[in-house]
Structure formats: structure tokens, C-alpha cells
Structure 1
Amino acid sequence: MRHSTYLEVNLGHIGSNFEKIQELAPRAEIVPMVKSNAYGNGMVPIAQFLVRDCGVKKLGCGTLAEALHITEECPDMKADLIVYSDTELHDSDLRQAYLNLNITPVLAQPRDLELVLKDPTFKRMPLIVKLNTGMNRLGFTWEELEPFVPRLKERGIEHLMTHFARSSDVLKPGDKTHRQMDEFNKVRTALLEAGVEIRGTSVSNSGAIEQKFGVEETFVRPGLMLYGPPSVTDPISWNGAQCSRLVTKVLSSFHVKKGTPVGYGVNVTPKDGYMVVVPIGYGDGMFTYFSGTKLNVNGCDGYIFGRISMDVAYIFFDPEVSSKIKVDDRIEIWNHDNRVITDIATQNKTIAYQLMCGISSRIPRIYKVK
């Protein structure tokens, strides 16, 4: 664990982002994604905040284990938990959770739907059915779903959904996202014409919501945007506040001459400079490929130097910076401006999702409301 290196999570920013999402989708019910430890920000406190302060009635999990963790930590929480991928339906012991708790699986494979329709103990469980409209990850094609239509007429579908593969691109008529939407509508129409009742629908993930695409459905499912960063980054249109602030400190600092070796490997300074050692490394989520990443500290431009080790990293500055950055000064790797984490991700040819989810359990989460 750490003390002076921490992730400060502002719940108030999440609340503000939630309100902005509702403005983009005024008629839809918001189903926030809290999977992967709420994108690295802390699943339980964020789930509690969303239900208590934002009035959320449904939360999205990636795995059954995540949903069980929430129910164990929050036994009085009045919200339905939806498991979107790793449902564990075919484990006879684990699937009892769907019968005894407020947890519902997304049915995305023929064997899952067959199990639920055949097992009489599941006869009252609402059916959430996912369509594969072109992402080709999980979900039913129409050819796979059509044989189930006679039995679906008896039960109805509580929630019909799909997932867009390229909604983080700027949308254009006829593109992949529009074709997926057309396929979704085609299957929806076929089900309705066959007499299957569909009580709710959803298609929009963060990128689609940012572009107001598919927001007229019953639900929207924001993930990344709820926590601040945009999904569509060229250009950025989402003005959400980055909920977290990754803070560390100056552990040590010293002047270096050109050619000075620093750290593991053969990494020598390219010129005279000022080196700052910070107590955050790949054991904390500061990935090794961050080497070379440009940062601004106390108004001074520097970059991560050499090999990042498990426990520390180095930031290289021009020599004159030494009067502005001292030992024990606080350093923000990213702050509440969503452009900062997006820029770091872009520099490293990755995405903000990975940066946030990568913060390890060694980094304490500190929660603030304002």
C-alpha cells in the first residue's frame, strides 16, 4: 500500500457527469457500468453513490463475481445488477445467485437461453437478450435466435440489446454503427411481427451517447464517459469532468550532467538537467511503456525518463526547474481535466480505459463529494 501516492475520486464529478448524460438522453433510463472496479475508481463506493445520490435503479457488471461482491458489501442496496459477459450460468452452484438475489444475466449464447427456458426454476427471471449485429463478440444472430421464437412468445423479452463496435469514431451515414443499428431494428421488427413482446431496449454505449445516437431507446449504458474521459477523441465533444486525480510526490531530486546513467538498463541523460524521482511504478499501474510520456508539473514541462521500475519512476526536467519542484511536493499525473488523461493515453497509443483500470490495489482510493 501507499500513503502519499493515491487516487482521489470525486463522487461529485460522477454526479455531474450523470446529469450531463441524462441531458443527452432525456427519455432513457441510465444503466451505469461499474464493472472492472468501476473503471479502476472503486466499485462499491461508486455503486452506493449512484444508487443513493443519483437514483440509479440498475447497475452493469462484467462478471457474476462483481455482482456478488456488491450484494455482499451492500446487502440493503435497492438496485438490480446486470451481468453482461461472464455469467457463470453453467455452473450449477453459482447460477443459484440469479434465483436468490437481484442479479440478472445477459443471455448472449444459444446454450444460455436454452438453459434458462428449459429450467423451470428460471421461469420468472426476466430475459435480457443480446444481439450480435456486427461486433462478433457475444450475442445472437437472427439465425441463432429464430428457433427460440415460439418459446419467447410465451415469456417475452424484458430487455433486447446490442453493442456497438465503432461508436468511438465520429459517426457518418452508412458507417459500421449505422449498419449495426439497422440490423438491430431488423431483428426487433422480426421479433415483434412474430408476436414476441419486447418491453425494453438499449444500444448506446459511451461513444454513441456522446453523439446522441440510439438514445431514444429505453436504456443507455454509459461506461467511460461517466468517469470523465471521452470515448470520441477526435474531436472531443464530451465535456465531462475526470472523476479521479492521480497524485504522487517528489521522493528525491538531483541535478544530472549529460551522459549520466539513471535507473535500470543503459539510460543516460541526453543533456544537463534536473531529475525527479517519484514513488510510483509498474507495481502501481505506471506502465513501463509510459517512458517518454510528457508531463506538466507545477507549470514545468518534463517527461518520464528511462525504465520505470516496480516502485519508482523518473521525470526529467531542464536544470532551471530545480527552484520550482522540491522534495515532498505533490505531483499530479492526471487531474480533473479529462484532456490530461486523454493526452497521456494518446501519447502511449492506448486508451483512458486502460490507464484507469490499470491503477493497482496498492494505490489507495480517497473519496470526496465536492
Structure 2
Amino acid sequence: MRTITIKPKAITHNLNQVKKLAPQSKVLAMVKSNAYGHGVAAVLPALTQADGIGVATFTEALEARQLGWNKTIGLVEGAFTADEWQQAIEQDVSCVIHHVPQLTWALDNVPPADSATRVVWLKYNTGMNRLGFNAEGVINAARQLKETGYQLILTTHFANADDHDHPLNAMQIQRFTDVLAILQSTISPTIKGSLCNSAGIVNFSEHHYDWVRPGIILYGSSPVIDKTAQELDLQSAMDFSAQIIALQTVSANDGIGYGSRWIAQQDTKTALVSVGYGDGYPRVVNDDAYVSVIDDTSNHSYPCAVIGRVAMDMIVIDVSKVPAEVPLLNSKVILWGSAPHVDEVAAHAGTISYELLCRVTMRPKRLQA
């Protein structure tokens, strides 16, 4: 059986780690892309101590409201149309404004004074060069919005926060700090700041400002290149498992799977696991990729290499080092969770944990721990 087990207690633990790292800041917890593949419905109850949630699309915001989330929702790409801006007002959603059309909609259609949409996250492009106004544009936009009655949070996004010593980090921090100071001194001292994503929370504690915006860190993956999830005291929020459905011994010099990519150097005991890229396990992994086979009688785990090509519905693993007395058929196999960690699997696949978590499909059975 293919199974995705979500662990809300782990998410709450990870949120508490964020709050310890940034005790003076409010927390906008990112739940975009179906809570990084974990499922918004499963995740929201674990985030009750967050001050708000962040989503990428209005559809995601509406889903959160329908699930009963009544705190702040931040639409991190803002409204896509004038009609969507009006819908944001109706649903009390706070929007990012990052270019002139969104600014125009906000100035032409001002929400009621008590609406959450009166709080605008004004995006300043400090070096990521995706969304946001330049320095002159953000100051002009802030002045117009403030005069119209909006509350402002200046925000930007790091391009390289995972690498503490990357030179662009210091440049982005300085640009953000300078413009925030100008806004607070020339327009209003009530203007707030939000600079740090997950990696920024870990690497730049002196620049947390009023709001932090954790994402991947909530789900138990390390957001930085020089510390593991374990070193950051994070707990994996998703266990991905499957089952051994067949056993065989492959003779020396015989190949396994499509393309006969893996050739047995000697007679090798193998197991077929009922999972593949159709479930979200990466199709291409290197020779260091492994899974953990669980002995149900002792609960001991055995690392076993993934061999041959990953197919849509199955993978083959080398079980020759598992003790002969372990009953392998129907045994549980951990694809990622505590070991291997999803960060490890991502490294073996030449990608990042964000992608693997977001790409898990709906075919595996979903459970909550």
C-alpha cells in the first residue's frame, strides 16, 4: 500500500521553532501549493498559533476561508484582476501589491475601514528581480496608498538567503533597511517590515522585522545549505511509505528495469516496491539513493539501495544485506520520513525538498498521525 502520513504535531513543533528563532515577529505561515503537498485541511489546525497564513492564489485563499481559517490571509502574488481584488475585499484577504495595475485597483476601489484588505503588503524588488517596484516606485506607491487610508507592510524576497555569505544578501538587506527608514520617516512611522523567509529566519536573526514568512521550515526541511533539519531541531511532517510486493534473486550480469541501467555484479536478492513516479517518487535518482525497509517484528530499519530505473508504479531495491530471518514480503518501506529524510532524497534526485513534497500525487492513501 502506498501511504502518505501527515504529522500535524510535527508542524506545530516546527512552528514553535520559528517562534523561538523570531520571538518578536508575527508569523505568516506559508500554505501555498496545498501546504507544500501536505494538504491544507490537515495543516491548518496545526498552525493555530500562527498570526496568519500565506497563499499564492485567490482559490487557495478561498479554500482556507471555507475551512474556517478566520485570521490573516496574505495573497503573496496579489490579485490577478480587478474582479479578484473585489473578491479579496469580500473575503477579507490582505494582498501584496507589486506593480502598477494592482496599485490602480487598490486606489480606485478602497475597502471599508475595518477590512483586512486595508492592510497591503507592498513589494520592493531588492534584487530577486521577479516581482516588486524599484525604490522610487515603492516610495511613490506607499505615499499614495497611505494617503488613501491603507496600512502598509513593506516586503521583499531574498534570492540567496540559504547561503549566509552570498554577497547579494547584504545588498538586499541594506536596500530594504534604507527604504523602510525613508518610508517610516517621510510617510508614516506605522509602516511595518517583512524581510525573512525560512532561510532568512535562520540566517539573519537581526533582520526579522515585524513579520516573518516561514515556508519549508514548517514542514521539517532545512532551508539553509549548512545546517540539516536535525541540527535545526525540525521534525519531518510527512512520511511517505509503500510495501514490498515481490522478491526475486537476479543472476550476475543480468539487468533490472527499463534500459537495463543496473547490472548485477553477482547474484543479488532484490525486492519490488509498489511505488513510482506516478506517486511522486522522483524518476531519476543517483546511485546513493536508498529506502528503509522496516522489520515489523522488531521495528528495526534496514537501508536498502534503489537499483535500476524508477518506473511509474514500482521501484526495485537491493535487499541482499537484510538478515535472512527478516520476513520481507509485504514489509513496509519508508521512501522518506525520518530516514531517509526528504532532503536526502532530494539531493539524490538533484532537486530540492520543496519540489518532491509538492509533487506527491493523490494516488497514495492519505493518513494523519
2:234 to 237, 240, 263: 240
> Does residue 275 of the first structure (1) align with residue 270 of the second (2)?
yes
8 Å contact from structure 2 (residues 73, 93) kept in 1: yes
Residue identity opposite 1:244 in structure 2: M
Q: Which residue number corresponds to residue 130 of structure 2? A: 137
- The correspondence for 1:44, drawn from 41, 44, 48, is 41
Give the C-alpha shift of residue 280 in structure 1: 0.7
Question: Which whole-Å CA distance do the structure 1 matches of 2:203 and 2:185 have between them?
Answer: 30
Deviation digits for residues 138-197 of structure 1, max 9, x if unmatched? 11111322333542341354311111111111x23x822121111001111222232245
1:1-370 equivalences in 2 (<5 Å): 4-51=1-48, 55-72=49-66, 74=67, 76-85=68-77, 87-92=78-83, 94-120=84-110, 125-154=118-147, 155-169=149-163, 171-172=164-165, 175-214=167-206, 216-236=208-228, 237-267=231-261, 268-290=263-285, 292=287, 293-298=289-294, 299-318=301-320, 321-324=323-326, 326-336=328-338, 340-368=341-369
Displacement, 1:215? 5.0
**Deviations along 1:310-332, whole A, 9 cap, x unmatched?**
11111123366554351100011
Relative to 1, partners in 2 of residues 1:326 and 1:153: Cα closer, same or farther, differing over 3 Å? closer
Partners of 1:58 and 1:80 within 8 A in 2: yes
- Over 3 Å counting, the alpha-carbon distance change for 1:38 and 1:249 in structure 2 is same
* Partner SS for 1:251: strand
Superposed CA RMSD in Å reads 2.2
Q: Which runs of 5+ in 2 are unaligned?
A: 295-300
Q: Percent identity?
A: 25
Q: With structure 2 as the length reference, what TM-score do the two structures score? A: 0.89
The Cα offsets for residues 87-143 of structure 1, whole Å up to 9 and x where unpaired, read as: 343152x33321211212211112211221122457762221111111111111113
Distance 1:96 1:322, change over 3 A: farther
Cα distance, 1:322–1:83 mapped onto 2, change above 3 Å: farther
Tell me, in whole angstroms, the C-alpha distance in 2 between the residues paired with 1:291 and 1:175.
Answer: 32
Kept in 2: contact 1:25–1:215 (CA 8 A): no
**What is the distance in 2 between the residues matched to 1:108 and 1:320?**
56
CA gap 1:96/1:234 in 2 versus in 1, 3 angstroms: same
Alpha-carbon distance between aligned partners in 2 of 1:202 and 1:239, rounded to the nearest angstrom? 24
Q: Which moved more, 1:296-305 or 1:32-41?
A: 296-305
Deviation at 1:204, TM superposition (A): 1.0
SS in 2 for 1:31: strand
Moved more, 259-268 or 309-318: 259-268
CA contact (8 A) 2:122 2:142 kept: no
